[in-house]
Amino acid sequence: MEGAPPAAGELTYEYNPKNPVPTRGGGNLLLPAGPMDQREVENRNDVLTFTTPPLVGPLEVVGRVIVRLYASSSAQDTMFTAKLCDIYPGAAAEVQQRSIQEGRSMLLCDGALRAACRESFSKPSPLEPGRMYEFVVDLGSTAIVFNRGHRIRVDISSSNYPRFAVHPNVWGAGAPRAARQTVYYGGDHPSAVMLRVVPRK
């Protein structure tokens, strides 16, 4: 990856289970599937996007894709979702007209993690609201060459429905409620996407 590591910071968004992020492509069976453009959902206030500078040369990635996320929630249980996207260069006219300054944001792979299952899927445990935890989101595997001039993007949110069930932000029984999510990056909390890069010959 190119560019200096980001300075420490944090970003917040509100996840409302009554208004989940809609699914756009992915490894679906009964839903429209494949590498669809994510720009429409990336414009939502409950989706965070992290994008590299344009690549100066091809970058080949093969294997498992993992997002290591440092985050907190106002809820005792919630969901975190992640997507890996390939950003195509946009034409000059398009760049001037769009709020997102790139071309197509094509989905490669995605994943989700119930926060209470951060340590064990068989023995979930509630969160302490406001406390930061480390979450590991498995996006599955991919094999792709990011071409020169393209960018690599990671989208973070808390829903991707109906590909993944909507989490109500409650531990145990209770009506669905909104939650305030905070993602930490840089410094001592280096949220990152882990890619297996093939060395260039």
Q: Are 142 and 195 in contact (CB under 8 A)?
A: no
Q: Which residues, including other chains, have CB under 8 Å from residue 87's CB and lie 6 or more apart?
A: 51, 102, 103, 104, 105, 106, 150, 151, 152, 153
Q: Is residue 145 part of a domain?
A: yes
Residue 89 sits in a domain whose CATH number is 2.60.120.260
Q: Answer whether residue 58 is part of any domain.
A: yes
- Give the amino acid at 151: R
Element at 38 (helix H, strand E):
none
> Has residue 152 been placed in a domain?
yes
Q: Count up the domains in the chain and report the number.
A: 1
List 109's β-bridge partners, or say none.
84
Phi/psi of residue 94, nearest 5 degrees: -65, -40
List pLDDT tens digits, range 38-78: 999 999 999 999 999 999 999 999 999 999 999 999 999 99
Matching residue, tokens 């145990």: 172
Instruction: Flag whether 4 is in a domain.
Output: no
Q: Residue 2 falls within a domain, yes or no? A: no
- Identify whether 135 is part of a domain: yes
10-38 pLDDT per residue, tens? 999 999 999 999 999 898 888 888 899 99
Residue 1 lies in a domain: no
Residue 3 lies in a domain: no
Its domain, for residue 36, covers 9-198
Confidence of residue 125 (pLDDT cuts 50, 70, 90): very high
